[in-house]
């Protein structure tokens, strides 16, 4: 019941920030998708651009209720290009606070002088977008701690859209705790397949996500310390009592086991 989120980290947090994080996660579950806004598919297709107009150096920050398709139309970019430029294998899995690049990676297209006797100038193609998965940084600067007690029943697999974090089995109502200090940027159930979800922003680069909770105990904009209880473990969006936990760096999932202390 997992899905990718292709993910830069949340840049909006605090004080009444109504951000809807649609993190692509939850190993062991079905593919999660964002609930799309109403409207006929014909009208949406009619508004979707057929060719992209890259905007070198520009980005767009995902807000509550945004979809990749809507952002693509707004910025005159095809959904496929917008997904590819941001390493998103599942274009439906984006989350509020995520920064999307409005241009391909590498050098932008430039004109070259025509050879002698040539009738026209030619343009070089933009370089290919970077791969979806990027190496995890060596040091996050955060004193991570385990978010729950229990057996590890699901592991992170780089590049696997259904294995973007780890799963920790437990019992219903068991405490789920903040893995590090930060501010709650999402507390809700807006992502199909992930149940009651909480997202904590630790700094401008790092996020952690906690899915399938039975009950959420914190609100958006609330500051938490490492070890504070933020939820009760449950099985919303999954078939067993468990916590799905992710760590993301600039929106991209990294292996939590590289950062959590060894048991």
Q: Determine, yes or no, domain membership for 220.
A: yes
Top-confidence residue, 217 or 107: 217
Q: Is the pLDDT of residue 184 over 90?
A: yes
Q: Is the pLDDT of residue 159 over 50?
A: yes
**Cα distance between residue 8 and residue 205, in whole Å:** 8
pLDDT at position 106, please?
56
Top-confidence residue, 260 or 61: 260
Global model pTM greater than 0.95: no
Q: Determine, yes or no, domain membership for 129.
A: no
Question: For residue 17, how many other CB atoms are within 10 A of its CB?
Answer: 19
Q: Which two tokens stand for residue 12?
A: 């909006």
pLDDT-derived band at 48 (thresholds 50, 70, 90) equals low
Q: Which domain holds residue 164?
A: 152-258
Q: Determine, yes or no, domain membership for 185.
A: yes
Strands (E), 148-235: 152-154, 166-169, 175-177, 182-188, 191-192, 196-201, 206-216, 223-224, 229-233
pLDDT-derived band at 138 (thresholds 50, 70, 90) equals low
| Phi and psi angles of residue 12, each rounded to the nearest 5 degrees, phi first | -120, 135
Q: Domain tally for the chain?
A: 1
- Taking phi over 0 as left and psi of -120 to 50 as alpha, with beta for the rest, 140 belongs to alpha
pLDDT at position 137, please?
58
Query: What are the CB-based long-range contacts (under 8 Å, 24+) for 149-152?
Result: 149/174, 150/174, 150/242, 150/243
Q: Determine, yes or no, domain membership for 58.
A: no
**Cα distance between residue 33 and residue 2, in whole Å:** 9
**Beta pairing class for 166-169 and 152-154:** antiparallel
pLDDT at position 2, please?
43
pLDDT at position 131, please?
45
Q: Determine, yes or no, domain membership for 2.
A: no
pLDDT digits (tens, 9 = 90+) for 29-43: 444 444 444 444 434
Over residues 74-89, the mean pLDDT reads 84
Q: Determine, yes or no, domain membership for 4.
A: no
Q: Determine, yes or no, domain membership for 56.
A: no
CATH number at residue 210: 2.70.70.10
Q: Is the pLDDT of residue 12 over 50?
A: no
Q: Determine, yes or no, domain membership for 95.
A: no
Q: Among the ranges 19-23, 159-163, 256-260, which has the highest mean pLDDT value? A: 256-260
Q: Is the pLDDT of residue 84 over 50?
A: yes
Over residues 194-206, the mean pLDDT reads 93
């Amino acid at each position: 019941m997992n899905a990718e989120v292709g993910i830069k980290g949340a840049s909006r947090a605090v004080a009444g920030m109504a951000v809807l994080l649609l993190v692509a996660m939850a190993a062991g579950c079905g593919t999660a998708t964002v609930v799309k806004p109403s409207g006929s598919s014909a009208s949406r297709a009619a508004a979707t651009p057929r060719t992209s107009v890259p905007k070198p150096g520009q980005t767009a920050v995902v807000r509550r209720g945004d979809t990749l398709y809507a952002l693509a139309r707004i910025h005159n970019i095809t959904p496929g290009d917008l997904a590819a430029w941001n390493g998103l294998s599942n274009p439906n899995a984006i989350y509020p606070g995520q920064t999307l690049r409005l241009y391909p990676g590498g050098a932008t297209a430039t004109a070259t002088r025509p050879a002698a006797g040539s009738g026209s100038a030619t343009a070089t193609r933009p370089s290919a977008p970077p791969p979806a998965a990027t190496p995890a940084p060596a040091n996050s600067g955060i004193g991570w701690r385990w978010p729950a007690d229990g057996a590890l029943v699901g592991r992170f697999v780089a590049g696997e859209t259904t294995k973007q974090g780890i799963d920790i089995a437990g019992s219903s109502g068991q405490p789920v705790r903040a893995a590090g200090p930060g501010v709650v940027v999402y507390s809700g159930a807006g992502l199909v397949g992930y149940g009651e979800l909480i997202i904590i922003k630790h700094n401008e680069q790092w996020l952690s996500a906690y899915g399938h909770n039975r009950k959420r105990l914190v609100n958006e904009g609330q500051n938490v310390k490492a070890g504070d209880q933020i939820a009760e473990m449950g099985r919303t969006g999954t078939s067993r009592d468990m916590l799905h936990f992710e760590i993301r760096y600039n929106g991209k999932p990294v292996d939590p086991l590289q950062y959590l202390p060894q048991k």
